[in-house]
Amino acid sequence: MGRNSATVGRRLGAAVLVSGALALTGCGTDDNSGLPGALDFTEENLRCGPEGALLASGSSAQANAMEVWVNTYQASCPGGQVTYKATGSGAGVQEFLQGTTAFAGSDSVLSEEEIAESRSVCADGGRAVHLPLVAGPIAVGYHLPGVEDLMLDAPTMARIFDSGITRWNDPAIAALNPHARLPDLPITPFHRSDGSGTTDNFTAYLHAAAPEAWRHAPGKTWRGRGGQSADGSSNLVGMVKRYEGAISYFELSYAHRNGISTARLDTGAGSPVAATVTAASRALSGARPGGGDLALTLDYATHEAGRYPIVLVTYEILCDRGNRPGSLEQVRAFLRYAAGDAGQRALAGIDYAPIPAATIQQVRRRVDALA
């Protein structure tokens, strides 16, 4: 199979061109396997907003979380239709800045230029703010028959995704997996073709943990050499499931829902760490907001035992002031539920990590103060 960057051979073309957008309404999607239905709640933690339609878009990383939240909210508030389109972080931010959605989901913080641009969308002197609601591990999923336990470290992973290591029985991989029967099979790394916060966080990890092997700057747009591409996390999962020798990165919830094996990481802590909610929560425990905003600083290069460093935080991005009057109360009601105890508890059952308690308290205050 060819390894031209962002180009998929004839055998893959049709599958890769499938749209990654996922629209979530109160009826849910056709595939709800592995996701809980509407959760029990009380008036104390879920208060309905006014009737009407609420549209948001962005991060595909939080699509499974949004599916549960929307279904639960809609069960209590059938008069308010909530639609979330998983178009990717980059597209979601642009749609918000164009004024077509009430809020955006993004796995990356806005640039200074984007914050300045938001002032033209937010009335009354408002600007865009970051409300962290979803967090979790980015798993490295692979399709390698006969290899159920695979360990990688940051330098080896960086070389794989930058076309420096091209076969599964490469000595660098073999040294990390002395008991595995690694096949003499080409490695086909898949990356996101769309602007992606997952890509931003994954490449931030490679850049921080293996700077000598990964010399590309982190970003929403893939900068590595070679590989194949697909848009959206769901399509990356589809490529890994379909093709032997494939490897890619996506949220843990996607890996579990699709039965995909995920690599453990050698972080230099003494024992390798798997992509789990618990290990991601440990890595997130030290993250603190800074600069007067709720954007969190993450330590991708941690060597502390039991901490899985490839993590992301998804932010709901909206105006602090100057939100559209027709949607403000419904946005408040929906985000109050998502940031509340019931909304955050729902995340653990679908492979997301709850936002640290001190931070989620600040999020709740910010939601109440939206104007």
Written as six digits, the tokens of 242 are 């379909």
Written as six digits, the tokens of 209 are 């943990």
The verdict on whether residue 59 carries a ligand-binding annotation is: yes
The verdict on whether residue 196 carries a ligand-binding annotation is: yes
Within the chain, what is the greatest distance between any pair of CA atoms? 63
In contact, 20 and 233? CB cutoff 8 Å: yes
The verdict on whether residue 233 carries a ligand-binding annotation is: no
Q: Where are the alpha helices (DSSP H) in 77-153?
A: 89-97, 112-118
d(CA 58, CA 211): 29
d(CA 289, CA 273): 26
Written as six digits, the tokens of 88 are 């990717």
Q: Where are the alpha helices (DSSP H) in 34-149?
A: 63-76, 89-97, 112-118
The verdict on whether residue 198 carries a ligand-binding annotation is: yes
The verdict on whether residue 197 carries a ligand-binding annotation is: yes
The verdict on whether residue 188 carries a ligand-binding annotation is: no
Per-residue buried b or exposed e for 24-37, using 16+ beta carbons within 10 Å of the residue's own CB = bebebeeeeeebee
Q: Is 85 helix (H, G, I), strand (E, B) or coil?
A: strand
Residue list, annotated binding site for phosphate: 59-61, 89, 107, 196-198
Residue list, annotated binding site: 59-61, 89, 107, 196-198
